[in-house]
């Protein structure tokens, strides 16, 4: 069976700088994969290429067997990849609730015309969506702030909301960029459980960028390691922990 | 079948407009003129609010779309009206709405033509392009003899009445409100907040922006048609940059993206304009001072008590 | 050196800090820990003049600096590496650092400080001419800390300096913090989620929860406190 | 051929004035990210300051002309700072659209108060000669090259504009306050965290921008010696367009944009298409922006996600 | 119980000059009439409304004047565009309107309630073309008109028609947009066409600069204009460059008739500045209405209208006025020439 996500010799250059250099990697369905490496190694850039924000200079990316070259970010999301951002990008003036609700948009049966006619079908769908939004918010215990504008949330809560919002697009692959940043160890433990819970409950694959090794080693089945844009290692957490190159470059 | 509240609101609004309209013969024509002006302002402001307020684009060319609608609609009634040989009543109740629709459609088309290529521009660059479009429309109208050129288009019948004006205003407010208050519609707000994130959530941002532009221009065009048949005379100079600014002021004063606030701002400015008339040539001085004062004292918009983005539809 | 008395801060209707009092002795490192939304960032913002407190008092070297705007405090020796980094996205790394030394007119001093920052974060040296906005998250964090150092502060406020930083570098940064504290006598108020590490290098610590000081004690004692271990140190 | 050259000269001298006004728009925009609608009215006030002070400062001689120009710049600078303090500063942390409205309010106020106080009729921007008769701000001669005619005023406009542009560039790129201005334009909060006094920088920016507007007003009035309280609106609009065309926030861009608008207008005016002049100018502008969405010299702001 | 008369004009905005001069004429007329005991013992009350030189205002203020202020007649709007907007409403209400200075032919075509005391565009366009051809012996002429002004385009059109009839060659036609300030491009193009004379239908603000710039560019042929040239500012702006310009006036300040001299003296006394053509027209428009009320012996709109239509020999400051069947004032115009900063009467031309 083909991989869910497949990167083949992917390279991207910004002017003279090669940010990612001939990286190949895969993520299988339902798998929880880590992507680690020193600062500036190119992890976020890989995310940006997978989600269509950047087009690779060389190489190819395929999702569910289909190449994604030339697709716009929203088209890639339609195919089933969702992400969070390293620098949080919520809809700051929308309420917490609406941040999530908007993301359901992809699976709506109604559109602009139905918004105007507002027939019974429209209302049924809206009620259902509201229920589902609440369910999602409940995962991270965010219903208590659901009517606040998202910009007034603390940093940690904003991270959580971003994950929920991404889930609302019902992805097959979820890309998380440093979800544990800004959380204390206790909160990180909780987050680890939640990530696994999400994976199981929504049956999706997760690609995780994170600098906290407890988190990465604790939940990932496989880990890719980047340094200076190149892949220097791949393997199980145990293998990675023992890999001298990774220790030298990253773990210390 | 049980009608939802929002549609009942629309129906009631239409009925009330119709009811008042029956008595318009007894209303002082000056008051009527001002009232109709207010109704048109509501339509203009609400439609621009969809573009500038909710979707976060910055259009400075709303008067241009209004002009397109005004001229198309007036051309239809002035050329076709006399040929039909129908009674004034028939013309007012059949030809006139058709002409409003035409004005709206032509304006929407113009909105599409301007919007589609230029929506990749951001902020002030978009503002300049829309401003430029408005000016281009003005210059073209000035040069076309068939619509009166610089002299203006004369002899437009006075079909605009309370029913049409407030009916259109109610429909506009309803459409903007209904569009936004749905899961689909929250997308407009999301686009305004963060385009990158919106794309990442699978929202086709271009599509949203174009929809806002087309719907907004459509109602600007209809408002133009109403304006034409209220004033009875059109002059390209009346649709200049300053007119666009007037509408923008209503939207911002109303608090950008607040339904009620923008309506109230439209009413307030129109009424202010009339009440200050008695101050003669101090009128505009006072007007400008009041504008500054309003902004300094209510910078968040006049009516912040209206919840901006409720989670409930 | 720094003393905060009964500080209250509101964001609109929300009260972020209710009644926060803390002291930072000259030449010490003090850590502020607490869960998300506890008000750590708000406390730092209030001290550096980014938000105006509703009530309460902030004393710096004995002077009342409550409500004094940020730019004046920089001149008095308070530097802040803020949450969210806030680098000048369209200036290069080098220009960012030089902006950090805005109040410093002596070119030689600027050059010396720049050397120091580059020595601390060699990565920044590699990226000297790159626009700060295109740096990776961790690189921006380094730049934000470096920029704060450029003003030669006497008192440094660090908001989660390890956020988004790779493990190897986290250790390094903490070492540098200690070094700055030792060699220059720099007073440091640290907000950290990596509480273990932070308390390890601090003399004193405060635990903040929902806008109130919950605990205040010697850092070593806090680390030993089972309640603190459970809630903030990850057991 | 001579006609072409003549039009080129005409276009450049008109463009130079647009450029001066555009520089003010661009500077304020660069720092505060909002369009200062009152700028074009400061331009008008500048011209009136020149009109009233000119006779006292000895307008008509070279030094008198320079003194008048300087006085207008100083007066406009003060006006600009006062406007900022009264109408914009209280809204410092609000969205820039809010400030836009007060700016429109200030603009309307200056125009209408101007009509009331200064009179609505156009005035001739001329100065009495002591012995009787009228003279211009600077002694004027027409320079003829074959059939080409250049007015000494046109030369002065070009020269003054060039000098001011260079001076401005130097201030913004080579001085501390200039650096502070640029830093503020990127992130005002961060700027205050490194010790930049935002209020001082903003006042300075307004002073500088308004001084340019004042200079523009006097030069414009000198070249087109009919002034009225609404004289700012049209050139203001065009300068605003020029600023965006060049890439708003970019100084050389504003100068280039101004020159370009001046040239396009002049060349279109001299043809059969002259009735469509503004339409053509805007159409060109739109086309340019479609291909260069950040203006001619503007850079798209980097935004790494 | 005063007789209420409305006025709508551009008191502020871009064309405030026009409106204010008109308004001063109207104001003075009222003061004089009332000082002399009013009309048939009733004083006149003028209610003035401002159109701000803006489209869309005229319709509203005319409605206000009629329904709120119950005026019986209206003096209004010298600018043709806004007159075209406001007058139809008065027409529908049956309230007579006398426009002081709207010269566009369409204005009085609105209906039988709309009159004017000025001559029309066809009249002055034709007169100036004839003058160029017959008196100045012009063979090649260039035209520079204002694209944003129906007044200017109208004049240019009638001028052009007459030139074709006379066999005068139109060697160049250029357009500008009112308020432009820089006309060098157009003038440079016109100069290249080597005309014997230029026709520049424009208001004095633009015209002054055009004259100035034409001379600066070495374009020294005679410049002909319309009644919009008439204002002291023309000479102030253009200086010596105004010398040798020709244009028709409704009323000339160099007119030496006792009636004119007295008007100028009274006006200067009242307002501290010299009158312009539109001041005199405003003065005449109001006096014409007062005269109509006296003649019709009624202050009812209908009667006023009838009396206005029957005007035959009203002695105005701007000449003896008779209303033709199109409700246009039939009266002579004078052509003046600028000499040393003064407008010198040259010849009188009858319709
Ligand atoms: N748009 C861009 N223009 C120029 N350089 C870029 C751009 N985007 C990324 N880079 C550079 O590419 C490199 C990789 O950046 P990336 O953000 O992918 O790093 P990262 O692995 O996510 O690091 P971190 O852990 O610090 O977030 C960095 O050195 C960065 O400066
Ligand atoms: N700009 C703001 N507007 C409104 N509320 C805010 C704002 N910033 C913070 N808050 C609120 O103030 C409280 C304290 O926030 P603060 O950012 O100080 O927390 P923190 O301790 O730094 O949390 P974190 O660890 O997540 O960064 C939170 O409840 C937050 O929602
Ligand atoms: Mg990253
Ligand atoms: Mg924080």
How many domains does chain A contain in total?
2
**Residue B143 reports pLDDT greater than 90:** no
Identify whether residues A38 and A146 lie together within a single domain. no
DSSP state letter for C48: T
Residue A165 lies in a domain: no
Total-model pTM: 0.91
Q: Domain range holding A142?
A: 92-155
**Ligand 1 pocket check for A14: Cβ under 6 Å:** yes
CA of C117 to the centre of ligand 1 (A): 20
pLDDT in tens, C117-140: 999 888 899 999 999 988 988 899
Task: Count the neighbouring beta carbons within 10 Å of the beta carbon of residue D175.
Answer: 11
3-class DSSP state for residue E310?
A: coil
Residue A247 lies in a domain: yes
Pairing of strands D142-145, D148-151: antiparallel
Distance from CA of B246 to the nearest CA of E (A): 13
| B56/B13: higher pLDDT | B56
DSSP state letter for A4: S
- Alpha carbon distance A84, A160 (integer Å): 10
- For a mutational test of ligand 2's pocket, the pick from A93, A152, A154, i.e. the residue with the most ligand atoms closer than 8 A to its C-beta, is A154
- Alpha carbon distance B212, B209 (integer Å): 5
Query: Residue with structure tokens 């000025």?
Result: E118
Burial pattern E25-51, b for ≥16 Cβ within 10 A else e, equals bbbbbbeebbeeebbeeeebbbbbbbb
Residue nearest to ligand 1 atom 22, measured at CA? A44
**Residue B311 reports pLDDT greater than 50:** no
Ligand in closest contact with the CA of C33: 2
pLDDT in tens, D115-155: 989 988 888 888 888 776 778 888 888 888 877 778 888 88
**Subunit contact B311:A111, Cβ cutoff 8 A:** no
**Residue B305 reports pLDDT greater than 70:** no
**Ligand 2 pocket check for A182: Cβ under 6 Å:** yes
**Ligand 1 pocket check for A40: Cβ under 6 Å:** yes
How big is chain E, counted in residues? 351
ipTM metric: 0.89
Residue A187 lies in a domain: yes
Specify the pLDDT at position D276: 86
- Alpha carbon distance D188, D206 (integer Å): 16
Q: Which two tokens stand for residue A49?
A: 């290429």
The CB-side HSE value for D268 (13 A sphere, CA atoms) comes to 20
- Structure confidence at residue B307 as a pLDDT band (50, 70, 90): very low
**Subunit contact D303:C102, Cβ cutoff 8 A:** no
Give the best-scoring range by mean pLDDT among B83-97, B272-286, D74-88. Answer: D74-88
Q: Which two tokens stand for residue E179?
A: 């308020």
Identify whether residues A176 and A247 lie together within a single domain. yes
- Structure confidence at residue C13 as a pLDDT band (50, 70, 90): confident
Identify whether residues A140 and A196 lie together within a single domain. no
Query: For chain D, which residues score pLDDT lower than 70?
Result: 1, 132, 301-303
- The three state secondary structure string of B185-252 is CHHHHHHHHCHHHHHHCCCCHHHHHHHHHHHHHHHHHHHHHHHHHHHCCECHHHHCHHHHHHHHHHHH
Specify the pLDDT at position D301: 65
Could you say which of A103, A129, A155 is where a domain stops?
A155
Average pLDDT over residues B63-76: 96
Query: For chain A, which residues score pLDDT lower than 50?
Result: none
Specify the pLDDT at position C22: 93
E176, β-bridge pairs: E146
- State whether CATH 2.30.30.90 applies to domain C2-232: no
Ligand in closest contact with the CA of A250: 1
- Alpha carbon distance E51, E218 (integer Å): 40
- The C-alpha R_g of chain B, in whole angstroms, comes to 19
Among the partner residues C71, C74, C133, nearest to D302 by beta-carbon distance? C133
Decide: E78 and E281 in contact? Cβ < 8 Å. Answer: yes
Closest CA to C124 of C66, C173, C191: C173
Identify whether residues A117 and A237 lie together within a single domain. no
Specify the pLDDT at position D223: 86
Mean pLDDT of chain E: 89
Identify whether residues A150 and A186 lie together within a single domain. no
Residue A115 lies in a domain: yes
Specify the pLDDT at position A245: 92
- Alpha carbon distance E160, E245 (integer Å): 19
The CB-side HSE value for D286 (13 A sphere, CA atoms) comes to 23
Specify the pLDDT at position C9: 94
Specify the pLDDT at position B123: 78
Burial pattern E203-218, b for ≥16 Cβ within 10 A else e, equals bbbbbbbbbbbbbbbe
**Ligand 2 pocket check for A154: Cβ under 6 Å:** yes
Task: Count the neighbouring beta carbons within 10 Å of the beta carbon of residue E290.
Answer: 22
- Alpha carbon distance B106, B112 (integer Å): 10
Identify whether residues A66 and A183 lie together within a single domain. yes
Identify whether residues A135 and A175 lie together within a single domain. no
pLDDT in tens, E233-264: 888 888 888 898 999 988 776 667 788 889 99
Identify whether residues A60 and A178 lie together within a single domain. yes
- Structure confidence at residue B313 as a pLDDT band (50, 70, 90): very low
Distance from CA of E33 to the nearest CA of D (A): 28
Identify whether residues A132 and A202 lie together within a single domain. no
The CATH number for A244's domain is: 3.40.50.300
Question: What residue of B is the nearest CA neighbor of A98?
Answer: B311
Specify the pLDDT at position A5: 95
Average pLDDT over residues E51-69: 91
- Cβ neighbourhood burial of A181 (10 Å; 0-12, 13-18, 19+): buried
Could you say which of A155, A183, A206 is where a domain stops?
A155
Specify the pLDDT at position D23: 92
Identify whether residues A136 and A18 lie together within a single domain. no
Average pLDDT over residues C63-72: 92
Note the helical H segments in chain E.
16-35, 57-63, 80-93, 106-109, 121-134, 150-166, 184-192, 204-216, 232-238, 258-271, 277-296, 301-309
Closest CA to B134 of B105, B114, B156: B114
Mean pLDDT of chain C: 91
Residue A62 lies in a domain: yes
**Ligand 1 pocket check for A48: Cβ under 6 Å:** no
Closest CA to A78 of A161, A205, A170: A170
Mean pLDDT of chain D: 88
**Subunit contact E233:D124, Cβ cutoff 8 A:** yes
3-class DSSP state for residue A10?
A: strand
């Amino acid at each position: 069976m083909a991989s869910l996500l497949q990167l083949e010799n992917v390279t991207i250059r910004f002017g003279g700088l090669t940010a990612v250099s001939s990286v190949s990697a895969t993520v299988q369905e339902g798998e929880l994969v880590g992507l680690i490496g020193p600062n500036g190694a190119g992890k976020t850039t890989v995310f940006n290429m997978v989600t269509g924000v950047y087009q690779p200079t060389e190489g190819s990316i395929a999702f569910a067997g289909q190449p994604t070259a030339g697709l716009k970010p929203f088209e890639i999301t339609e195919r089933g990849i969702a992400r969070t951002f390293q620098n949080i990008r919520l809809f700051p003036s929308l309420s917490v609730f609406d941040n999530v609700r908007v993301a359901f948009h992809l699976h709506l049966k109604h559109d602009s015309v139905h918004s105007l006619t507002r027939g019974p079908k429209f209302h049924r769908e809206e009620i259902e969506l509201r229920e589902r939004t609440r369910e999602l918010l409940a995962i991270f215990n965010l219903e208590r702030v659901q009517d606040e504008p998202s910009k007034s949330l603390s940093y940690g809560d904003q991270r959580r909301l971003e994950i929920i919002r991404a889930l609302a697009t019902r992805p097959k692959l979820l890309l998380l960029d440093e979800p544990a940043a800004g959380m204390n160890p206790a909160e990180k433990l909780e987050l680890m459980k939640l990530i696994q819970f999400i994976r199981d409950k929504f049956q999706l694959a997760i690609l995780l960028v994170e600098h906290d090794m407890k988190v990465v080693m604790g939940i990932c089945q496989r880990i890719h390691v980047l340094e200076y844009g190149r892949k220097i290692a791949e393997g199980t957490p145990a293998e990675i922990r023992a890999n001298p190159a990774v220790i030298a470059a990253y773990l210390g | 079948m049980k009608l939802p509240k929002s549609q009942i609101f629309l129906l009631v609004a239409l009925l009330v407009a119709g009811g008042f309209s029956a008595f318009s013969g007894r209303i002082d024509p000056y008051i009527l003129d001002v009232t109709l002006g207010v109704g048109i302002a509501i339509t203009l402001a609400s439609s621009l609010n969809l573009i500038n307020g909710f979707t976060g684009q910055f259009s400075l060319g709303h008067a241009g779309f209004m002009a397109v609608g005004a001229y198309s609609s007036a051309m239809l009634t002035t050329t076709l009206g006399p040929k039909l040989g129908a009674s004034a009543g028939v013309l007012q109740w059949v030809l006139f709405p058709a002409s409003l629709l035409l004005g709206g459609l032509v304006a929407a088309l113009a909105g599409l033509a301007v919007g589609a290529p230029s929506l990749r521009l951001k902020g002030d660059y978009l503002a300049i392009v829309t401003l430029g479009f408005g000016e281009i429309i003005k210059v073209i109208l000035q040069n076309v003899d068939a619509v009166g050129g610089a002299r203006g288009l004369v002899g437009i019948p006075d079909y605009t009445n309370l029913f049409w004006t407030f009916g259109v205003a109610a429909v506009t407010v309803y459409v903007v409100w209904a569009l936004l208050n749905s899961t689909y519609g929250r997308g407009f707000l999301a686009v305004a907040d963060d385009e990158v994130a919106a794309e990442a959530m699978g929202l086709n941002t271009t599509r949203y922006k174009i929809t806002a532009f087309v719907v907004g221009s459509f109602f600007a065009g209809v408002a133009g048609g109403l304006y034409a048949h209220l004033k009875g005379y059109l002059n390209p100079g009346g649709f200049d940059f300053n007119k666009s600014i007037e509408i923008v002021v209503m939207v911002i004063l109303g608090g950008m993206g607040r339904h009620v606030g923008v309506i109230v701002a439209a009413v307030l400015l129109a009424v202010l304009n009339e009440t200050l008339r008695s101050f003669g040539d101090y009128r505009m001085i006072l007007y400008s001072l009041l504008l500054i004062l309003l902004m300094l004292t209510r910078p968040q918009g006049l009516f912040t008590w209206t919840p901006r983005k409720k989670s409930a539809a | 050196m720094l003393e905060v008395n009964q500080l209250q801060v509101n964001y609109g209707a929300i009260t972020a800090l209710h009644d926060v009092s803390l002291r930072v002795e000259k030449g010490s490192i003090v850590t502020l820990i607490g869960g998300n939304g506890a008000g750590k960032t708000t406390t730092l913002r209030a001290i550096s003049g980014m938000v105006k407190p509703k009530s309460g008092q902030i004393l710096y070297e004995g002077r009342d600096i409550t409500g004094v705007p940020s730019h004046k405090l920089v001149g008095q020796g308070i530097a802040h590496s803020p949450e969210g980094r806030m680098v000048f996205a369209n200036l290069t790394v080098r220009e960012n650092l030089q902006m950090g030394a805005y109040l410093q007119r002596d070119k030689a001093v600027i050059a010396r400080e720049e050397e120091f920052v580059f020595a601390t974060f060699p990565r920044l040296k590699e990226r000297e001419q790159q626009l700060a906005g295109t740096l990776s998250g961790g690189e921006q964090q380094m730049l934000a800390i470096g920029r704060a150092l450029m003003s030669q502060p006497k008192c440094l406020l660090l908001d989660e300096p390890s956020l988004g930083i790779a493990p190897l570098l986290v250790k390094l940064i903490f070492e540098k913090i200690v070094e700055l504290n030792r060699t220059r006598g720099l007073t440091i108020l640290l907000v950290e989620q990596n509480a273990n590490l932070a308390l390890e290098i601090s003399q004193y610590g405060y635990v903040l929860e929902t806008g109130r000081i919950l605990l205040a004690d010697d850092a070593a004692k806090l680390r030993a406190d089972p309640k603190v271990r459970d809630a903030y140190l990850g057991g | 051929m001579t006609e072409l050259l003549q039009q080129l000269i005409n276009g450049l001298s008109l463009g130079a004035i647009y450029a001066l006004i555009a520089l003010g728009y661009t500077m304020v925009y660069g720092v505060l990210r909002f369009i200062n609608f009152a700028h074009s009215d400061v331009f008008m006030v500048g011209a009136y300051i020149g009109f009233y002070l000119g006779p006292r400062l000895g307008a008509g001689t070279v030094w008198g002309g320079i003194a008048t120009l300087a006085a207008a710049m100083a007066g406009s600078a003060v006006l600009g700072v006062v406007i900022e303090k009264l109408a914009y500063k209280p809204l410092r942390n609000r969205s820039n659209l809010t400030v836009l409205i007060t700016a429109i309010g200030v603009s309307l106020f200056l125009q209408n108060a101007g009509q009331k106080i200064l009179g609505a009729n156009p005035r001739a921007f001329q100065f009495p000669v002591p012995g009787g008769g009228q003279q211009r701000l600077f002694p004027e001669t027409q320079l003829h090259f074959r059939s080409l005619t250049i007015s000494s005023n046109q030369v002065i406009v070009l020269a003054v504009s060039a000098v001011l542009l260079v001076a401005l560039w130097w201030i913004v790129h080579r001085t501390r306050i200039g650096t502070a201005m640029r830093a503020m334009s990127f992130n005002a909060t961060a700027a205050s965290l490194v010790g930049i006094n935002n209020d001082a920088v903003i006042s300075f920016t307004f002073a500088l921008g308004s001084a340019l507007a004042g200079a523009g007003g006097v030069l414009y009035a000198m070249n087109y010696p009919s002034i009225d309280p609404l004289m700012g609106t049209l050139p203001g609009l065009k300068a605003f367009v020029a600023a965006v065309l060049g890439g708003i926030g970019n100084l050389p861009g504003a100068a280039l944009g101004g020159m370009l608008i001046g040239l396009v207008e002049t060349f279109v005016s001299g043809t059969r298409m002259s009735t469509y002049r503004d339409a053509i100018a805007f159409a060109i502008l739109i086309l340019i922006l479609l291909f260069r969405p950040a203006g001619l010299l503007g850079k798209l702001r980097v935004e790494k996600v | 119980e005063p007789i209420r008369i409305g006025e709508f004009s551009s008191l502020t905005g871009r064309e405030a000059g026009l409106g204010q001069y008109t308004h001063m004429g109207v104001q003075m007329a009222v003061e004089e009439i009332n000082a002399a005991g009013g009309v048939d013992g009733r004083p006149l009350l003028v209610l003035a409304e401002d159109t701000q030189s803006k489209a869309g205002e005229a319709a509203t203020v005319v409605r206000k004047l009629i329904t709120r202020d119950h005026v019986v007649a209206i003096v209004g709007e010298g600018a043709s565009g806004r007159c075209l907007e406001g007058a139809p409403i008065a027409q529908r209400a049956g309230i007579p309107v006398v426009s002081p200075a709207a010269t566009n032919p369409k204005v009085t075509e609105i209906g039988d309630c709309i009159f004017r005391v000025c001559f029309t565009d066809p009249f002055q366009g034709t007169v100036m073309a004839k003058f160029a051809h017959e008196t100045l012996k012009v063979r090649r002429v260039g035209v520079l008109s204002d694209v944003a002004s129906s007044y200017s385009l109208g004049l240019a059109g009638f001028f052009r028609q007459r030139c074709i009839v006379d066999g005068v060659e139109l060697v160049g036609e250029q357009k500008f947009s009112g308020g432009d300030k820089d006309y060098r491009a157009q003038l440079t193009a016109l100069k290249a066409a080597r005309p014997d004379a230029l026709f520049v239908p424009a208001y004095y603000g633009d015209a002054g600069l055009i004259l100035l710039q034409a001379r600066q560019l070495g374009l020294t042929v005679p410049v002909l204009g319309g009644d919009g040239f008439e204002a002291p500012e023309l000479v102030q702006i253009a200086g010596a460059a105004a010398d040798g310009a020709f244009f028709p006036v409704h009323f000339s300040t160099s007119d030496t008739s006792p009636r004119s001299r007295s008007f100028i003296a009274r006006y200067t006394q009242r307002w501290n500045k010299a009158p312009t053509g539109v001041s005199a027209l405003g003065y005449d428009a109001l006096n014409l209405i007062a005269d109509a009320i006296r003649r019709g012996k009624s202050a009812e709109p209908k009667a006023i209208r009838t009396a206005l239509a029957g005007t035959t020999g009203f002695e105005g400051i701007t000449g003896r006025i008779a209303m033709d069947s199109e409700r246009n004032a039939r009266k002579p115009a004078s052509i003046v020439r600028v000499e040393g900063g003064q407008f010198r009467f040259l010849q009188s031309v009858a319709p």
